[in-house]
Amino acid sequence: MSYLRERLQQKSILIVPGVYDALLARLVEAVGFEAVYLSGAGVSYTQLGQPDLGLVTMTEMVERLQTITHSVNIPCIADADTGYGNYLNIIRAVRAYEQAGAAAIQLEDQVFPKRCGHLSGKQLIETDEMVLRLRAALDARQDSSFLIIARTDACSVCGLDEALRRGERYLAAGADVLFIESPPSIAALERIGREFGQSAPLLVNMVEGGLTPLVPAHELEQLGFRIVIFPNSLTRRIARAALEFLQRLKSTGSTESCLPDMLTFFELNQLLGLDYWRAVEERFTLRA
């Protein structure tokens, strides 16, 4: 866990792809990324087959989190929506996420149940209530290297000025990282960086087709951001590829034309560590 806190002391931005399971986390690690993001929306899309409307439970997220942290050596930042209830639920969530191996937990200031930050119809709790949520989270954590990320959705609900005001309160309450969701323009991103870039690690969210313009990581770094997440880019790319594959299979009755676009059976098993498990199996095999 301490690696993530130390990494955020560096000026270079941390690029963090989002995943919904251990296989994707292993792919992220294999390519060389330094961290992975467990997306609540991604779990809702893939486990429930439902949009991001606060339907995922803490138990479902912790189960996914454990499989990911047991499968990779890079830190995992994990979405926890609003904390799944009141302050008692937040305390339970923080302890469960920390015990499951997360390096950071992300909490937001929407009402429960929440909805995706790039959908309309969001509602916010009062700033003082979010401050209490953060204090409960900080009190619950056991290891100071476990990071508390404070997210505000005020920008798309009340405007940037209110989002900045809330951000200041959340940092004063002790949040380790600030995440102002859905800035609508480059100018808004620049202002967030000017306000907070020198005082706290800033996280920014890139959602293709969402409310925030897509900005390359190196430019976000220049604006003062330390973390950029791509929470469901992989999910959407996989869904597109799966649809194309299924359409081809339905029309041809064969997967042969898809082979160039697939990992081979051997490549997949190598990625998953088959050689390691075979060696373990060999060590414990009884011989006559």
pLDDT (tens digit per residue) in 194-253: 999 888 999 999 999 888 999 999 999 999 999 999 999 999 999 999 999 999 999 999
Residue 133 lies inside a defined structural domain of this protein: yes
pLDDT (tens digit, 9 = 90+) per residue, 123-158?
A: 898 999 999 999 999 999 999 999 999 999 999 899
Handedness of CA 34, 39, 42, 43 (dihedral sign): positive
* Model pLDDT, residue 117: 64
State how far the Cα of 38 lies from the Cα of 78, in Å rounded to an integer: 5
**C-alpha triplet 42, 48, 51: angle, nearest 5°:** 60
pLDDT (tens digit, 9 = 90+) per residue, 94-109?
A: 999 999 999 999 999 9
* Model pLDDT, residue 53: 85
Residue 127 lies inside a defined structural domain of this protein: yes
Q: Report the domain count for the chain.
A: 1
Contacts 24+ apart (CB under 8 A), 10-16: 11/221, 11/226, 12/221, 13/217, 13/218, 13/220, 13/221, 13/225, 13/226, 13/227, 13/228, 14/226, 14/227, 14/228, 15/217, 15/228, 15/230, 16/77, 16/227, 16/228, 16/229, 16/230
Mean pLDDT score across all residues of the chain: 93
Cβ contacts of 265 within 8 Å, gap of 6 or more: none
CATH number at residue 73: 3.20.20.60
Q: Is the pLDDT of residue 119 over 80?
A: no
Residue 104 lies inside a defined structural domain of this protein: yes
Instruction: Check residue 44 and report its DSSP letter.
Output: I
Residue 175 lies inside a defined structural domain of this protein: yes
* pLDDT cut 70: percent of the chain above it: 99
Instruction: Check residue 84 and report its DSSP letter.
Output: S
pLDDT (tens digit, 9 = 90+) per residue, 51-94?
A: 888 889 999 999 999 999 999 999 999 999 999 989 999 999 99
Place of tokens 């897509």: 214
* Model pLDDT, residue 61: 96
State how far the Cα of 219 lies from the Cα of 78, in Å rounded to an integer: 25
Distance from chain centroid for Cα 89? 20
Residue 267 lies inside a defined structural domain of this protein: no
Residue 85 lies inside a defined structural domain of this protein: yes
Range of the domain at 79: 2-238
Residue 257 lies inside a defined structural domain of this protein: no
State how far the Cα of 150 lies from the Cα of 136, in Å rounded to an integer: 12
Residue 180 lies inside a defined structural domain of this protein: yes
